[in-house]
Amino acid sequence: MGLKAPFSTSFGTIHYRDFFIIEAIDRDGLSGWGESVAFDAPWYSEETVVTNEHVMIDFLIPLLRQGPISHPDDLGERFSAIRRNNMAKAAIEGAIWDLYAKQQGLPLSEALGGSKKQIEVGISLGIQKDVETLLDQIGAALDEGYRRIKIKIKPGWDVDVLRRVREVFPDIPLMADANSAYTLKEMDHLKQLDHFDLLMIEQPLAHDDIIQHARLQRELKTPICLDESIHSFGDAKNAVELGSCQIINIKIGRVGGLTVAKRIHDFCQAHDIPVWCGGMLEAGVGRAHNIAITTLPQFTLPGDTSASARYWDKDIITPEVTVHDGLIQVPKKPGIGYEVDQEALEFYTVDVLSFEL
């Protein structure tokens, strides 16, 4: 799916997205839907679309054949023989969660234990060709009602850009995401970020680090939020206990599915750590899953789940996800609560594989 506009981060520029869309069909003909958020290249995490295909076909789907499960929470145990590959696991688990919720006649949000009727959302703005372009985009996003602005930063596109943003927009809820662009050698430089009253700085240091982030957090007033570093419940627990962050970005794909996401949420709730739902430039199915998990109570900060139309000329769900006044209304229908638009799906589809369990 071609993005309406390229999205640039400290690790590169994304022009289009490949997705695995998983449909899990039960004996009664009910369908559950999941989406893998893996990118085509391993620069956010080690997974790619191609590794997902391999892991699903050769390992995860055969494990499903070991026999029925009674609840989607049981999949974690079933998949535990396979190390990591969390986005592949989450895509299958997501389809099964949706199917389970539909079998129960419940919205996925309620099946997960969420109760919000609407969720607050923000927007993540990529690195732009110049600051004026970024300022225009921030203005447009605020006009559209987005409740929090996140900008991407990297060395050479950080302090001066934030200073200018704060001159023009002194009071907006603002944060910065570095996608691991810095090291502790830049401690003095990173300390300057404290001048901009940021809600948080997301993943400043290495993608696999929690030790140095704890050292940095001791030196910064601005809360650190971890994204890339959190792949499991254990990572979240260690990061909170070490003081590596004060906020966690939960991405369902990165942590291996909704069950783990919920467990991290519950731990953060018990430890007063606010969480929010990150984004991976999802198509409609993944977007719907993000909306469902965000209905849990500790998702107290606006996430990156923006409207379908921010990314796509045509999304694969109907209705598309819309944002009014910075809010998404949580669907009340069973499961993800959006229909997959078969015509749109077919338009984008390049290959279909089917498996009988």
Site string for ligand OSB, 282-311 (x = CB under 6 A): ----------------------x-x-----
With both helix axes pointing from N to C terminus, report the angle between 233-242 and 258-270 in degrees, rounded to the nearest 10: 20
Closest by CA position to 285, among listed 6, 17, 20 = 20
Rounded-to-integer distance, Cα 303 and Cα 243, Å: 22
Q: In this complex, which beta carbon is closest to Mg ion, that of residue 103 or of residue 183?
A: 183
User: With CB under 6 A as the contact rule, which of the stretches 56-64, 158-166, 267-275, 279-287 interacts with ligand OSB?
Assistant: 279-287
Rounded-to-integer distance, Cα 42 and Cα 52, Å: 11
In contact, 176 and 6? CB cutoff 8 Å:
no
Q: Is 278 in the site for ligand OSB (CB under 6 A)?
A: yes
251 given a catalytic annotation: yes
Which of residues 93, 227, 235, 315 is near ligand OSB by CB under 6 A? 227
Q: For residue 121, which phi and psi values (nearest 5 degrees)?
A: -130, 155
Closest by CA position to 316, among listed 4, 29, 33, 24 = 33
Which of residues 10, 86, 109, 124 is near ligand OSB by CB under 6 A? 124
Q: In this complex, which beta carbon is closest to ligand OSB, that of residue 264 or of residue 281?
A: 281
Rounded-to-integer distance, Cα 222 and Cα 58, Å: 44
Q: Is 44 in the site for ligand OSB (CB under 6 A)?
A: yes
Q: For residue 92, which phi and psi values (nearest 5 degrees)?
A: -70, -45
Rounded-to-integer distance, Cα 34 and Cα 336, Å: 10
Contacts with Mg ion by CB under 5 A lie at: 177, 202, 227
User: With CB under 6 A as the contact rule, which of the stretches 51-59, 114-122, 275-283, 331-339 interacts with ligand OSB?
Assistant: 275-283
Task: Look at residue 86 and give the partner it binds from ligand OSB, Mg ion, none, a contact being a CB closer than 5 to 8 Å depending on partner kind.
Answer: none
Closest by CA position to 37, among listed 104, 89, 110 = 89
Rounded-to-integer distance, Cα 156 and Cα 248, Å: 26
Residue among 89, 102, 150, 152 flagged as catalytic: 152
Q: Is 229 in the site for ligand OSB (CB under 6 A)?
A: no
Q: Is 280 in the site for ligand OSB (CB under 6 A)?
A: yes
Q: In this complex, which beta carbon is closest to Mg ion, that of residue 9 or of residue 295?
A: 9
332 given a catalytic annotation: no
Q: Is 122 in the site for ligand OSB (CB under 6 A)?
A: no
Q: Binding residues for ligand OSB, per CB under 6 A?
A: 9, 44, 124, 177, 179, 227, 278-281, 304, 306
Give the residue numbers annotated as catalytic, written as ranges: 152, 251
